[in-house]
Amino acid sequence: MQKRRILKILIPIWLVSISCNLPLAARTPTPTLTETPALKTDTPQPAATNTGVPAAQPPTSTIEIPPTACLPQVKAGTAVNVRSGPGTVYSIVNVLAEGATAPVIGKNADGTWWFVSISGINGWVSASVVTASCIPSSISIVAAPPTPLPAAGTCKTGYEYRLINADDKVCVSTASKNQAAADNADADSRRLVVVFGVDACKEGYVWRDAFSGDRVCVTNTIRSQAAADNAAASSRWVSGAYGEHTCIEGYVWREAKSGDDVCVLPDVHTQALADNAAASSRVAGTYDCISGYVWREAFPGDKVCVTPAVKSQVAADNAAAPSHTW
């Protein structure tokens, strides 16, 4: 049994081995292909015919050309000042002409001013007076230069020139400036000569009115005395050496003017003559104030009439002016 099994295994192996060892001549030959030369003939080629239809071109790949990059810039609708910093307190360093453009380099922190370059000069233009385009969100924020000090003589913040006249450059509060303007407007209505005429008396004096048209300026006491003497005149006259208006004993004519025959005490007569002599010195001047007002005197020659309180305020403003001014 054992031998049969071995034979069944060995016989197939032997058959395969024999077939692989056969000589090459015994194998079926592969036919060899031989190229047969073709006969050359001259065949006429058809002439090219113009059909009017362009020949189809082979498809080509399309190259995409990127668009030209958009540059950040501003354009001026009108001539625009270019300043050394982002604010009107800075000096003007250039001008962007009407219709001109300028490249934008950056902006200030709140985006209200653009930092531009014009002919090699860098400066700032207000965003409110130019039209910006192509500004990227990533544009640089440029730090502002230090704020320049105002010119000498200009007012500090919160103060302004009083301008009582064109040369009045005292820096005061807005309230003081407005008060000065109001007093200037009311000046004429506070002048004695405007209210009472050219014969107006200075403060402290009144017209005597001893007779019609008597514009001699006297104290209130003298005016009252004149009125009392006028009232008593008839009781002091007698018919005598000087006519019907001869004064009774102890009285003399007042003579406040020629023909004033009101009889008065001698000292009243003397006072009337003294008042007449001083009359011109008691007449109000062109700028004398009515009662309750005084000259403002903000500067030499300032004769605008104001209340005493305003006069004091003006003096205080003058004294404080250096601390309100650069």
CATH number for the domain spanning 95: value is 2.30.30.40
Are residue 130 and residue 169 in the same domain, yes or no?
Answer: no
Are residue 306 and residue 271 in the same domain, yes or no?
Answer: no
Residues of the domain holding 225: 201-282
Are residue 224 and residue 278 in the same domain, yes or no?
Answer: yes
For the chain, what is the domain count?
3
43 assigned to some structural domain: no
Are residue 214 and residue 267 in the same domain, yes or no?
Answer: yes
310 assigned to some structural domain: yes
Half-sphere exposure for 113 (CA within 13 Å, toward CB): 20
Are residue 132 and residue 273 in the same domain, yes or no?
Answer: no
Nearest to 170 by CA among 3, 9, 16, 323: 323
Are residue 221 and residue 185 in the same domain, yes or no?
Answer: no
303 assigned to some structural domain: yes
pTM above 0.75, yes or no: no
Are residue 122 and residue 239 in the same domain, yes or no?
Answer: no
Digits of tens for pLDDT over the chain (326 positions)?
555 666 566 665 655 555 544 444 444 444 444 444 444 444 455 544 555 555 555 555 555 655 667 899 999 999 999 999 999 989 999 999 999 999 999 999 999 999 999 999 999 999 999 999 999 999 999 999 998 877 788 999 999 999 999 999 999 999 999 999 999 999 999 999 999 999 999 989 999 999 999 999 999 999 999 999 999 999 999 999 999 999 999 999 999 999 999 999 999 999 999 999 999 999 999 999 999 999 999 999 999 999 999 999 999 999 999 999 98
77 assigned to some structural domain: yes
Rounded Cα distance, 219 and 193, in Å: 18
